[in-house]
Structure formats: C-alpha cells, structure tokens
Amino acid sequence: MRTSPRLLLTAATPTELLKKLGEVVQRVPLRGEGREAEHTEVYSAGCLLATLADTLAFPLSLFHRDRPDFQLRLPGREVGIEHLEVVSQNDAYLSFLRDQGHGAEMHFIRRARIDEPQMTRAEALAYFDAEKADPMAHAGAGWEGDSVEREWAKAMAHFALRKVDRANQPGFDALDARWLVLYDNWPQANLDADKASHYLSAEPSLGSVLQTFSRVFVLNERHLWEFDATGLRSVRTTRTVRSDSPV
C-alpha cells in the first residue's frame, strides 16, 4: 500500500503531457507474468489523460496514491481519481492460466455473468480440456440483438457501485472533485459504442454513482466514454499511451 502520494509527472502543455506519459507508463505485464493492480492503474490513468489532453487546464501534476488512487492537481483545484478494472474474475483466472500454457491457442469469447461463481482450478482445467477436445465446445448460442450492449452496461454499473461504498468510507480524501475511471476488460463481441452508452446512461444505479463521482469514465482500447449528472457527456477515441500493453 502506498503511504504517501508519489509524483508521477508535471506538465505545462498538452504536448509535454503526452511526452511525460510516454515515459511514465510502463508495459502492463500479462496476468501470468505477475500483473498487479498498480500496472493497470497507471496505464488507465495515462490513457485517460492522454485522451483528455486537449481539454485539461495547465500546468498540471499527477500523483499516485491511496484513497483515491490518483490526485490530479490542476490550476485552482485538485481532482481525486479512483480506478477499477471491470473484468470477470473467471476470465481473469482463465487468462492467467492461458499465459502459463493451458487451453487452446484459438478459442471463443466466453459469455460472462456478473453473478457467476468463481471457478476452481479443477473447473478451469476441465474447461480447457473440453476446449481442446472440441473447438466448438464453448461456442454457445452467441449474443442476440442488443444483448452485448445491455450486458456490458449492467457490468459497468455493477462495478461502479463497488467504488461508491469505498469513496464514502472514512479516510477517503474528497478533494475538490471526484472522478471514477473504469478500465473495461469485460468480455464482449463487436460492442456498438453508441448503443452501449445509451444503455449505461439508462442504468438506474448510474445516478447513485454520479452522486458520489462528478464524472465517470469508461475506458478501453477503442473508446473513452464520459458521463456526468446530465448523462452521456462524450464518446472519444482512446489515445493509448503504449502499443505493447495487453488488456
């Protein structure tokens, strides 16, 4: 646990910010290589600021810390940024085992559920055995209609609510504003960004989240969604900091 804020960078212009982010953000290891929360936290914060670079006030400073995960110092105000990776624990575990050589090289995207029980190692290895024996074993029925976007929205809202409790606990510095960034690693196929934002805006629990966080960002390798109390604020193309960092 970090006991005090650690300065990551200072920048006086968007150009300097992008240059400094390229120096600060390191490659995110594979799960089987020992990935830790700090790797994805710094990567996500880097992509967030890179994508927003032309809209931020300067000079700015970024600190890595606890409760919240980041402190963004802007002219006249300080913003606390809390981070959470949205990922199915079973998919994260399967990915960890794949990095160690288990499973088939080519495989179907697994349709995750937010309420599914955690796989045991034996269950995960049995999943891989079935996959190797029959490439179609886990093909499933596939997504129909808008189910990809609906399920994605429910997953984002579900994980965002987890951070509300944390942010309201004693010892969490409110600073002048609170932002939440969700790093989207939820399994899905061909997500429609506009439909996805529509369904997330309509999730009743998002209103509760936005009572605690003034802005909620959802980030993946293609898009950055931004929501505030009025609903969807924008959908931008993500400016990634590194091209060699896996999800």
Categorize the per-residue pLDDT at 109 as very low, low, confident or very high, splitting at 50, 70 and 90. confident
Whether the pLDDT of residue 180 is over 90: the answer is yes
Of the CA atoms within 13 Å of residue 85, those in its CB half-sphere come to 18
User: Of 4-13, 130-139, 181-190, which gets the smallest average pLDDT?
Assistant: 130-139
Do 99 and 207 reside in the same domain of the chain? no
| 245 within some domain | no
Q: Considering its fold, how many domains does the chain have in total?
A: 2
Q: How is 149-200 classified by DSSP, letter by letter?
A: HHHHHHHHHHHHHHHHHHHTSTT----SEEEEEEEE----SS--HHHHHHHH
Query: Do 99 and 190 belong to one domain?
Result: no
Domain membership of residue 39 as a residue range: 6-87+146-237
With 0.85 as the threshold, say if the pTM is over it.
yes
